[in-house]
Amino acid sequence: MTAPADPHPATAALATATASSLADDLASGRTTSVALTRALLDRIAAVDDAGPGLRAVLAVSADALDQAAALDAERAAGTVRGPLHGIPALVKDNIEGLGLPGTAGSLALAGRVVERDAPLVASMRAAGIVVLGATNLSEWANMRSPHSASGWSGVGGLTGNPWALDRSAGGSSAGSGAAVAAGLVPLAVGTETDGSITCPSSVNGVVGLKPTVGLVSTEGVVPLAASQDAPGPMARSVRDVALLLDAMTGGTAYASAPGSLPLGSLTLGVADGWRSGHQGTDALFDDVLARLAAAGTTVGAVVVEPPGTAGRQELDVLLCELKDGLDRYLAGRPGPGVRSLADVIAFDEEHADLELAHFGHEFLVLAQATGGLEDPAYAEARAGCLAWAVDEMLEPAFGGDLAPDLLVAPAYAPAWKSDLSFGDHFVGGGGASTAPSLAGWPVLCLPMGLVTGLPVGLVLIGRPNSEALLLAAGHAVEEALGLAGTLVPTWTAPGRG
């Protein structure tokens, strides 16, 4: 079957352009930031707002072209702030940015003017990035209901997957993953609490890094769980992710990592218990491991005895930290409107036709019933999560005779069909996502190919603050697979089955 044409042929080249290649075009004078920003705005209007109606972008910055013009003027005067000078990026709409809604997808925050840039956004602007707009997300970062559909929010509606428009774009950074994959922007910022960068990166066929918790500031980010929340970069190549991580942290520590590590010097540990459980995904993963081994990588099994999960204890942690964090955040955010989690619940119930039309807000109600961080169950649950994630899962995997540099696993199976009635049907993600999320350890997800015509990713898991190693190794793997910037969405129309 012939793949559908790109929904906006005039800007189709942007679907494979990397930030690095666009930066070269800017540096050489082949284009300007204004021209690039205008082309992306045209593409968003044609692809996201009209045409397929992807709904990946929740809002665009009214001053995007003014930002670009100012950066072009600086370049003309001989000032270049960094390698991403003049490159546009989108940020997830649970991150505050001047001129952006900052709603976390909830109508309860719609119209409440953002009065500051979150430090990570200020750092991106200082690096010369055009803050193009905000991406849609799973409302409240998917901590709403056990029956929620990833990528849906009251403000932004349901984000589609550009590979197959009736498939999920993952959660909760659905809009960021779909926007990068669709060529609406070369760079985007997501946030992860448990899988929320990894999943949309995998199912949309892009690269995403969930950094060590604390590496990127969460100030000005609508909180879910302080012990696990981590903003991170998403792009079409590992090199671009490294550049954006530098911009988000205000440093230069990561740009030189890609290209610094040959495959032959790398030892990867594989835990059978962390396979996806999807036949095609796991078969492709085995093929990738064989290719890496043939290229000189040491690949070996590591012993992980998965004793179930930390399920109930993780939920207790998330509920208690959500109660504490959201109450503090809403009370301190300027402007009229909801001031507490209780206010959000009341707002939803008052506007049930909009906010509760497809599924409930059971997790918000459960969180409100906790005592926050003072709840008697909290400390025990948090200790139990760390014991499971670190002592039972991660440390044994990094130990033993192999002593791998990093762990490797398939991320998720191909994207499932979006279902607003019954919620998500994802496969995979298990220990490979949850254990490092609970521990606050970093995870890099990058594409490993297509299964049934849809992208799937693999994850590399590192010890705390090993982002440079992850980026170096990820780039080496990416080069071996030859996929950087090559995956082009098929825009398959919704179908039966």
The SS3 assignment for 139 reads helix
Among 33, 61, 92, 433, the one annotated catalytic: 92
Q: How far apart are CA 53 and CA 132, in angstroms?
A: 18
The SS3 assignment for 376 reads helix
Whether residue 437 lies in the annotated active site: no
Number of Cβ within 10 Å of residue 450's Cβ equals 17
Amino acid at 172: S
Among 172, 176, 437, 466, the one annotated catalytic: 172
Residue 264 structure tokens: 């032959």
CA distances from 73 to 33, 51, 86, 127 (A): 10, 34, 10, 15
Q: How far apart are CA 423 and CA 426, in angstroms?
A: 10
Among 123, 176, 196, 433, the one annotated catalytic: 196
Residue 281 structure tokens: 């995904």
Does residue 202 contact residue 74 with C-beta atoms inside 8 Å? no
Whether residue 176 lies in the annotated active site: no
The SS3 assignment for 480 reads helix
Residue 300 structure tokens: 């070996």
Q: How far apart are CA 173 and CA 141, in angstroms?
A: 8
Number of Cβ within 10 Å of residue 307's Cβ equals 10
Output the CA torsion 265→295→177→426 (10° steps).
Answer: -100
Does residue 23 contact residue 83 with C-beta atoms inside 8 Å? yes
Helix axes 376-386, 430-439, angle to 10 degrees: 120
Whether residue 92 lies in the annotated active site: yes
CA distances from 290 to 168, 277, 297, 405, 460 (A): 30, 19, 9, 18, 16
> What number of H helices and E strands is found in the chain?
16, 15
Q: Which residues are catalytic?
A: 92, 172, 196
